[in-house]
Amino acid sequence: MDNQNTSAPKLTLEEVSAHFKHWRQIRRNRREPIPKKLWQQAAELSRQYSVSSVSKELRLSYSNLKERVHILPISSPATSKNNPDFIEIKYQQPFLVSEATVEIEDKNGLKMKVCFKGKPDFDLLSLAKVFLESNL
């Protein structure tokens, strides 16, 4: 287990900005790649600030920084918050299957009986109207 990341103090945006400024002053040429340590510090700041604000402050390519943020390891349980602000609990009511039997009798004595389980896939009221009106 790597304890180096858990014991390292969190750097502020101003501190990392100072590190980048110092590196830019001492680098040999303008095309020299940014050291991995500085990229790591910039990516770590994205946990506290937006990628856009970090890239602007540190004068970095937004897309390059965003790539590095996506490959950043997730915090270990030791460094994550123990008391989250929000926990989503999915609750579903138990599914109850209902049964129903509907019997309709018109004035002539003609009967219709409909039995179904659960929610009917048809309009029961329309069916009853058609049955009662067809026998007038």
Strand partners, 114: 102
Give the mean model confidence (pLDDT) for residues 9-38: 89
Strand ranges (E), the chain: 99-105, 111-117
Measured between alpha carbons, how far is 2 from 72 in angstroms, rounded to an integer? 15
Distance CA 42, CA 18 (A): 12
Are the C-beta atoms of residues 65 and 55 closer than 8 Å to each other?
yes
d(CA 122, CA 102): 13
Q: What is the pTM of this model?
A: 0.47
Q: Would you state the structure tokens that stand for residue 10, as one six-digit string? A: 């969190």
The pLDDT tens digits for 97-131 are 778 888 988 888 889 998 888 777 778 888 888 88
| SS3 state at 58 | helix
What digits encode the pLDDT tens for the residues 33-55? 898 999 999 988 888 888 888 98
